[in-house]
Amino acid sequence: MSSKRYLLGCMALLSLMGGAQAQSADDLRKDNASPGNVLTYGMGYNNQRYSPLKQINASNVSKMQPVWAYSLNNPQGQESQPIVHDGIMYVTTHNTTVALNPITGKQLWKNEIELPQDVFKMACCGILNRGAAIFEGKLFRVTLDAHVMAMDAKTGKQLWKVKAADYQNGQAMTSAPLIANGVVMTGIAGGEYGTRGFVDGWDPATGKRLWRFHTTAAPNEKGGDTWPGDTHEKGGAPTWLTGTYDPELDLVYWGTGNGGPWNPNARKGDNLYICSVVAIRPKTGELVWHYQFSPNDPYDYDATEVGMLIDMKVDGKDRKVLAQANRNGFFYVLDRANGELLKANPYVKVNWADSIDLKTGRPVQSDADRRVRAGEDVEIFPSVLGGKNWTPMSWNPETQLAYANTLNISWPYQLSKPEYKKGEWYLGINFRGVNMPKNEPHGYLSAMDPLTGKSKWQMAWPGQPSMAGTLSTAGGLVFTGAATGEFMAVDANNGKKLWEFQTSSGIIGLPVTWEQNGKQYVTVLSGAGGVWALLGDERMSQVPAGGSVWTFALN
Ligand code: CA
């Protein structure tokens, strides 16, 4: 071998080693098939939160026990999804990022974030963070005061930190970034504050902003005619959760939230792109297609939890779909190549629309909605919390069912006059909270068919409904948690509870599973809080605060 060829060979080997050590675009793409790591929010770009691991299964899960617990030293609600890579687990809170040994729970490093004091009275719906993203040896996260930052994944050392928005306008950042086609993508919260939403693309190496896609259309843009005057400027459409990515179509799907103000008469028109999913090119932010679930929405039906990418048969035809159980109570199935609406059926009680017209893609107006818009005081299903709230569902390809914590709650709705004040809620409704039904459960763990919205089974929550996410495994299990802190495994086929363990606080987070040295582990954060706690349910006073990470395995 000539020395030149030898050198080239060494360089190829080095770059291969670099690829194995630092997670490449290809590693992220294969995340759902590589159970040793959890590299993406959603446990795979398809956001199915499904693991092929089955060492822990329906026949032995009763022997699952805690392996370790780690205190986050943080009294807020814990909604962060852990990332596991190369023998390190990364967890975020609103003011720290920690790296842990996933087998022992021992802290490897901890990085604290300084936040301005006045941010705490601004952040709308919880002092929290939903997780980090990892790419080429760097860890990325966002902050409550609307910055994006990169750290060295090995040491926690900060590499760059850039400002995305002004938190004093009511804009906050809480969700895990998405890495797609080499671009770091982030969204923004603050749709209740008369802000204008957007999705940003950042250069992972430098933190330079590559593009911004505004989620309300300006008058000179396509869709701009759906807003009167300059109403798009305070029009909302926040993007406060993480999108999903289809690498073959090179499309990122990002969900958008409510219009601003909530009172729809202040912004007559469809208001593109509130309460929608937008399909955009990660390299440029170019809009390829959109679908709007709730045109001119009055009800805070954020479509921010974007749903799952599934390849499935619809009416006998193979389709690549985006399946979303929308906060507005309908389960939507779209063709994700072009946005064509294939199915839309209610999965909870709904009265704001009679149905969704599959030909036009638009809701068929109900009598209740007509009365709301005329100014009457009307009980609306589902409530401001939605048919389900922000936490993602999971998919099991064997049962062909989607598992989600759903809500059985309505709210009294009446319009009032909206008034904009910088940094304050801009609603224009007479907000009086929600109505719990008297003699029915307030929520269920539901196993749903996305094509019909019907549940094969439901497990009723005995007290407070659960706002936790779900995890599905090839072991025939669904993992989820209770507002009162019980972490549990449920039989995916029939909803029978097979195992539970009382953690130290309430669970509102997202369980993950992974393996190391041939052993399967399950991890979840415990820490009560979030939007449910804000509603003042007095039953929550019995649940102690305090964030911690719990990891379980078979005895
Ligand atoms: Ca909202």
Full residue range of the structural domain in which residue 504 is found: 39-554
pLDDT in tens, 80-111: 999 999 999 999 999 999 999 999 999 999 99
pLDDT of the residue at 310: 98
pLDDT in tens, 481-502: 999 999 999 999 999 999 999 9
Strands 147-152 and 158-163: antiparallel
Longest Cα–Cα distance of the chain, Å, equals 85
- The catalytic residue among 246, 300, 302, 537 is 300
pLDDT of 401 > 80? The answer is yes
pLDDT of the residue at 19: 40
**Domain count of the chain?**
1
Residue ranges of E strands in 328-400: 330-335, 341-346, 353-356, 363-365, 378-380, 394-396
pLDDT of the residue at 1: 38
Known catalytic membership, residue 200: no
Residue 21 falls inside a structural domain:
no
pLDDT in tens, 47-75: 999 999 999 999 999 999 999 999 999 99
Residue 10 falls inside a structural domain:
no
pLDDT in tens, 371-386: 999 999 999 999 999 9
Contact 276, 305 (CB under 8 A): no
Instruction: Read off the tokens for 61.
Output: 């899960």
Q: φ and ψ at 92, to 5 degrees? A: -115, 150
Q: How remote is the CA of residue 301 from the centroid of ligand 1, in Å?
A: 7
Q: How remote is the CA of residue 268 from the centroid of ligand 1, in Å?
A: 18
Residue 9 falls inside a structural domain:
no
Q: How remote is the CA of residue 88 from the centroid of ligand 1, in Å?
A: 34
pLDDT of the residue at 423: 87
Q: Which residue has the tokens 């790591």?
A: 37
Q: How remote is the CA of residue 323 from the centroid of ligand 1, in Å?
A: 21
Across the range 161-182, mean pLDDT stands at 96
Nearest to 256 by CA among 197, 304, 198: 304
Question: pLDDT confidence of 533, banded at 50, 70, 90?
Answer: confident
8-state DSSP, 488:
E
Q: How remote is the CA of residue 399 from the centroid of ligand 1, in Å?
A: 32
Question: pLDDT confidence of 273, banded at 50, 70, 90?
Answer: very high
Residue 93 falls inside a structural domain:
yes
What is the separation of C-alpha 550 from the centre of its chain, rounded to a whole number of angstroms? 21
Question: pLDDT confidence of 13, banded at 50, 70, 90?
Answer: very low
pLDDT in tens, 453-479: 999 999 999 989 999 999 999 999 999
Full 3-state SS string of 147-171:
EEEEEECCCCCEEEEEECCCHHHCC
pLDDT of the residue at 463: 85
Q: How remote is the CA of residue 394 from the centroid of ligand 1, in Å?
A: 22
pLDDT in tens, 429-446: 999 999 999 999 999 999
Question: In DSSP terms, which residues pair with 515 in a beta bridge?
Answer: 520
Residue 19 falls inside a structural domain:
no
Question: pLDDT confidence of 21, banded at 50, 70, 90?
Answer: low
pLDDT of 17 > 60? The answer is no
Q: How remote is the CA of residue 4 from the centroid of ligand 1, in Å?
A: 60
Question: pLDDT confidence of 122, banded at 50, 70, 90?
Answer: confident
Q: How remote is the CA of residue 192 from the centroid of ligand 1, in Å?
A: 6
Q: Judge if pTM exceeds 0.75.
A: yes
Residue 190 falls inside a structural domain:
yes
CATH number for 281: 2.140.10.10
Contact 30, 20 (CB under 8 A): no
Nearest to 264 by CA among 237, 241, 295, 305: 295
Radius of gyration of the chain (CA): 22
pLDDT in tens, 228-263: 999 999 999 999 999 999 999 999 999 999 999 999
* pLDDT, mean over the chain: 94
pLDDT of 22 > 70? The answer is no
What is the separation of C-alpha 462 from the centre of its chain, rounded to a whole number of angstroms? 25
Nearest to 251 by CA among 206, 199, 216, 329: 199
pLDDT of 18 > 60? The answer is no
Percent residues over pLDDT 70 in the chain: 95
Q: How remote is the CA of residue 277 from the centroid of ligand 1, in Å?
A: 15
pLDDT in tens, 280-337: 999 999 999 999 999 999 999 999 999 999 999 999 999 999 999 999 999 999 999 9
Residue 110 falls inside a structural domain:
yes
Residue 14 falls inside a structural domain:
no
Cα–Cα distances in Å, from 452 out to 7, 204, 341, 345?
60, 41, 14, 6
Q: How remote is the CA of residue 518 from the centroid of ligand 1, in Å?
A: 43
Instruction: Read off the tokens for 71.
Output: 């205190």
